[in-house]
């Protein structure tokens, strides 16, 4: 804990605009998750190839990025990562064999790449979870974004973001390894069910852990700030 952090309580987040935040969440989830899935399966049901359906369904996240750019005059890191992984998925679907097992392995490879990306960003000025946290902890307004960015000055906040990024990276590398191994020992019909269950189970567990760890880290930071303030008051009274 640095000296400034010991003497200064972290600033509270600015009041969020409920309507803007809700609309942002709806657009993000709808255009990045719901719309691509529905589009992909509808096109596959109508005879489109896997790659063609995937390519067309990726238009929705692109639209989300365009809306975000027009609305907030900036392209946030969450949208950039989404676009990067759409490109990676499209490229991966083109290479190698096109058997059912190969497709399952390729799908696992994408989550493994995400795990590697998380760990690689530990070498960057700020880890990946800092940007993901800013996406979901703020409403995208300049005030809330500046508040989140300002938290980086606190050693405890930096440690929290680093730990979160490390855990997500390791978890997705392990998840990808397990799914790839299962693809060789479990029949395809079973694996088609097991694979998405694993994906969303890991995501759900990571989401719950992240929320709990974040709250615990915040409470610990507030406790230390309160203790430092009490010590400062005691020292001032003694003087």
Q: What is the pLDDT of residues 58-116, one digit of tens each?
A: 677 777 766 666 665 555 555 666 666 666 666 666 666 566 667 677 767 778 888 99
Q: Give the chain's radius of gyration (CA, Å).
A: 21
> How confident is the model over 198-234, as pLDDT tens digits?
877 888 899 899 989 988 988 887 787 677 667 766 7
What is the average pLDDT across 155-168?
Answer: 94
Contact indicator for 103, 44 with CB cutoff of 8 Å: no
Stretch among 10-14, 139-143, 230-234 having the lowest mean pLDDT: 10-14
Q: Which residues contact 236 (CB under 8 A, 6 or more apart)?
A: none
pLDDT of residue 50: 62
Which residue is it, tokens 């615990």? 216
| CA 66 – CA 74 distance, rounded (Å) | 9
Which pair of tokens denotes residue 52? 């063609």
On the question of pLDDT at 237 being above 90, the answer is no
**9 pLDDT exceeds 60?**
no
Q: Of the candidates 33, 30, 23, which has an alpha carbon nearest to the alpha carbon of residue 200? A: 33
Q: Give the dihedral of Cα atoms 163, 166, 167, 172; nearest 10 deg.
A: 160
What is the pLDDT at residue 219? Answer: 84
With contact defined as beta carbons under 8 Å apart, do 146 and 74 qualify? no
What is the reported pLDDT for 209? 94
pLDDT at 55 over 70: no
Smallest Cα–Cα separation from 179: which of 165, 166, 164, 192? 192
Rounded Cα distance, 105 and 96, in Å: 11
Res 5 pLDDT > 60: no
Which one has a higher pLDDT value, 153 or 204? Answer: 153
Average pLDDT over residues 144-173: 92
Three-state secondary-structure class, residue 140: coil
Compare 46 and 87 and report the one with higher pLDDT: 46
Q: What is the mean pLDDT of residues 31-35?
A: 72
Domain spans of the chain? 16-95, 98-239
């Amino acid at each position: 804990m640095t000296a400034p952090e010991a003497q200064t309580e972290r600033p509270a987040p600015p009041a969020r605009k409920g309507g803007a935040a809700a609309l942002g969440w709806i657009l993000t989830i709808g255009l990045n998750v719901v719309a691509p899935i529905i589009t992909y399966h509808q096109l596959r049901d109508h005879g489109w190839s896997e790659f063609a359906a995937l390519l067309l369904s990726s238009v929705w996240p692109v639209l989300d990025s365009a809306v975000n750019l027009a609305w907030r005059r900036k392209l946030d890191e969450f949208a950039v990562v989404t676009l990067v992984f759409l490109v990676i998925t499209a490229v991966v679907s083109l290479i190698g064999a096109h058997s059912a097992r190969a497709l399952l392995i390729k799908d696992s490879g994408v989550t493994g790449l995400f795990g590697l990306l998380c760990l690689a960003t530990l070498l960057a000025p700020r880890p990946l979870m800092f940007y993901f946290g800013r996406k979901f902890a703020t409403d995208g307004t300049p005030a809330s974004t500046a508040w989140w960015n300002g938290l980086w000055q606190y050693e405890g906040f930096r440690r929290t973001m680093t730990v979160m990024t490390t855990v997500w990276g390791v978890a997705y590398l392990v998840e990808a390894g397990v799914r790839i191994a299962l693809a060789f020992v479990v029949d395809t019909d079973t694996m088609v069910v097991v694979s998405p269950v694993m994906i969303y189970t890991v995501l759900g567990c990571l989401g719950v852990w992240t929320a709990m760890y974040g709250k615990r880290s915040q409470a610990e930071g507030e406790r230390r700030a309160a203790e430092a303030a009490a010590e400062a008051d005691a020292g001032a009274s003694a003087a």
